[in-house]
Amino acid sequence: MLFDSHAHFDAAATDLDVGAVMGRAQAAGVGQVMAVGGSETLNRGALAVADAFPGQARAAIGFGRDLAPALTVGTRDVLAQAMAALEAQIVAHPGKVKAIGEIGLDFHYTPETADAQGVLFWAQLQLARKRGLPVVVHSRDADEVTLSNLATFAQPSEGYTGGRGVLHCFTGGERFSRALLEIGFYISFSGIVTFRNAEALRAVARRIPDDRLLIETDSPYLAPVPMRGNPNEPAYVRHVAEALAEARSCSVDEIAQLTTENARRLFAFTV
Ligand SMILES: [Zn+2]
């Protein structure tokens, strides 16, 4: 069985047939899916999938870096209200929300909002800590700031074992991956690892310990080879597993087994 640790379902996408998508995932051996939010409509989509497919899916909800300027503007009330709204959704869906995400920093596309992104990121790490949930983290061209936030989050304190999580759609280098592993984080590879020019990334993937490796589609974005040009969906996570199996000189079954175990452990899946 395969586990897609990161797929989006936009509640505002009227042409999205979630039943068909989940059916094709099941038929392709993708037994479980983490439905990941990041905005109002992605959060609603993730919760709807977790509610509708209790044997297959759970949700992560959170606010992505694009929302940072709006959520950190003016008084701190705006941010506090956004955090309260997330917490209310967690409480309203008992057992369905297994992570806060996706959250994080992107200094590649929006370096001008770096400060606001940092404020929103930290607030959500605090929420994850309060709720005892792992985090699903995006980081692009922000290695240092991401790491310093996550290192603090991962620190144990009295009555708290320390924050856990995954760096999703990993495209970083060896050093970044090692630092994340050191603070107990998981590393998730997307369809990017199937790209012809991704030899450096496959070299990083080769060295991730068995017990920290995850796979994902990040659907509907980033379709893997050989599905380029199509909307991505969880069924295609098999192609990511195949690329990793080749990079790590092991079987697809082994990749499937260990990444499923890892995802189930990280997200406390009991289904
Ligand atoms: Zn994503």
Identify any residues that bridge with 57 across adjacent strands, giving them in sequence order: 33
Ligand 1 centroid to residue 222 C-alpha, Å? 10
Report the C-alpha gap between 50 and 33 in whole angstroms: 9
Spatial distance between the Cα atoms of 258 and 243, rounded to a whole number of angstroms: 15
Identify whether 246 is part of a domain.
yes
Query: Whole-model pTM above 0.85?
Result: yes
Quote the CA–CA distance of 210 and 258 in Å, as a whole number. Answer: 7
Phi, psi of 135 (to 5 degrees): -120, 150
Under 8 Å between Cβ of 269 and 58:
yes
Q: What is the rounded distance in angstroms from the CA atom of residue 225 to the CA atom of residue 193? A: 9
CA of 117 relative to ligand 1 center, distance in Å: 16
Reported confidence tier of residue 112, pLDDT bands at 50, 70, 90: very high
Domain contains 271: no
- Which residue type occupies 175? R
CA of 158 to the centre of ligand 1 (A): 32
Ligand 1 center from residue 198 Cα (angstroms)? 19
Compute, in angstroms, the gap from residue 254 CA to the centroid of ligand 1.
25
Centre of ligand 1 to C-alpha 155, Å, is 25
Whether omega for the bond prior to residue 156 falls within 30 degrees of 0, making it cis, is: no
Give the span between the Cα atoms of 12 and 40, in whole angstroms.
Answer: 10
Q: Which domain holds residue 187?
A: 2-266
What span, in angstroms and rounded, lies between the C-alpha atoms of 159 and 239? 41
**Encoded tokens for 31:** 């037994």
Q: What are the residues whose beta carbons fall under 8 Å from the beta carbon of 206, sequence distance 6 or more?
A: 247, 248
- Tell how far the Cα of 223 is from the centroid of ligand 1, in angstroms: 12
- Residue pair 170/208 in contact (Cβ under 8 Å)? The answer is no
The pLDDT tens digits of the residues spanning 11-46 come to: 898 888 999 999 999 999 999 999 999 999 999 999
Residues with CB under 5 A from ligand 1 (ion): 218
pLDDT digits (tens, 9 = 90+) for 84-103: 999 999 999 999 999 999 99
Ligand 1 centroid–CA 65 distance in Å is 11
Q: How far is the CA of 36 from the centre of ligand 1 (A)?
A: 7
Residues of the chain above pLDDT 70, percent: 100
Q: How far is the CA of 159 from the centre of ligand 1 (A)?
A: 31
Give domain status of residue 159, yes or no.
yes
Question: What are 195-238's pLDDT values in tens digits?
Answer: 999 999 999 999 999 999 999 999 999 899 999 988 999 999 99
Instruction: Tell me: pLDDT of 73 over 90.
Output: no
How many angstroms separate the CA atoms of 267 and 8, rounded? Answer: 16
Domain total of the chain: 1
Q: How many CB atoms lie within 10 A of CB 200?
A: 11
pLDDT tens-digit readout, 138-186: 999 999 999 999 999 999 988 888 999 999 999 999 999 999 999 999 9
| Domain containing residue 183: CATH number | 3.20.20.140
For residue 122, tell me if it sits in a domain: yes
